[in-house]
Structure 1
Amino acid sequence: MAVAELCLFPLGTGSPSVGKYLEPVLEVIKASGLKYYVCPMGTVVEGSVEEILELVKKCHEAMLKAGAKRIVINLKIDDRVDKSLTIEGKMGV
């Protein structure tokens, strides 16, 4: 199991408000079935590396469909094979 932090930024939108580009991305994340937490500066998800990478692809496609002409994606993945890794464990909860 891996934990990842995902953040997509639409560029060149002509407005400082980007909610219309992020709403479809959140719908994709909700529909993924992966455990997730929306944070102020990104979203944390838990799943296999393959599931996370597929989710990133779908989020990218959703933002393009919402009209974004340019997208920057920041992705950090923590994948451990020596012990169980969860969002809660990384947060010390």
Structure 2
Amino acid sequence: MTIDIHCLADVCLIPIGTGTASVSDEVAAITELARSSSLDTTLHSAGTTIAGPWTEVMDLIGQMHVLVHSRGVVRVQSDIRVGTRTDKHQAPADKIRVVEEKLSSKRE
């Protein structure tokens, strides 16, 4: 069964056992991977939002795990939140814009 529904996934990879509190090297590596993909990706302070077809998004998340493991990290934990809609296509920027417009109208 192939799932071709569009989704927005918010993912945070957590490398465990790196020997340091900083994980910015791993974040930079997976961000480079995400940006080189054909998917719409947005880096934020606690992870990355990925938009696209379900199977492609999940494949990219798997590639992120492989990449971090290939850098010598033995254990990787992921927090993933995924949303889907069938009534319309929505990009991450669309969701932010709608909320900002509502906030702006309340200030007036």
Could you say whether these structures have the same fold, taking a TM-score greater than 0.5 normalized by the shorter chain as the test? yes
Question: Is 1:56 the equivalent of 2:61?
Answer: yes
The correspondence for 1:12, drawn from 2, 10, 17, is 17
Higher relative contact order (CA closer than 8 Å, sequence separation 6+): 1
* Rg comparison, structure with higher value: 2
Decide whether the 8 Å contact of 1:7 with 1:75 is kept in 2.
yes
**Coordinate RMSD, CA, aligned:** 1.3
Decide whether the 8 Å contact of 1:21 with 1:68 is kept in 2.
no
Q: Report how many aligned residue pairs link the two structures.
A: 93
Classify the secondary structure of the residue corresponding to 2:15: strand
Classify the secondary structure of the residue corresponding to 2:90: coil
Q: Normalising by the residue count of structure 2, what TM-score does the alignment of the two structures yield?
A: 0.79
Q: Distance in 2 between matches of 1:24 and 1:68?
A: 13
Gaps of 5+ in 1: none
Between structures 1 and 2, the one with greater helix share: 2
Gaps of 5+ in 2: 1-5, 101-108
